[in-house]
Amino acid sequence: MVTVFRLAGMRFVIYTDDHEPAHVHVYGDGEVRVDIVTLTALSNRGMSKRDLGRALQAAASGKMD
């Protein structure tokens, strides 16, 4: 597990031995998995729409590089 970024109380994590497609887990108040190629949410477990938007925006802006 590697925490690659923190933003607004959210932690962006990549598990190196995780399954396809390539994605990042975002933990905050809930969890969302974001596909890092298509920049879409693969799953959402309790994250608010506001935080989901922030997570997708951070992934799209390349903040995780």
**Alpha helix ranges (H) inside the chain:** 49-60
The ranges assigned to domains in the chain are 2-60
What is the average pLDDT score of the chain?
90
Q: Is-contact 55 43, C-beta < 8 A?
A: no
pLDDT grade for 64, boundaries at 50, 70 and 90: low
pLDDT grade for 63, boundaries at 50, 70 and 90: low
Q: Is-contact 12 58, C-beta < 8 A?
A: yes
The rounded distance, in Å, linking the Cα atoms of 15 and 27 is 13
| pTM reported for the whole predicted model | 0.87
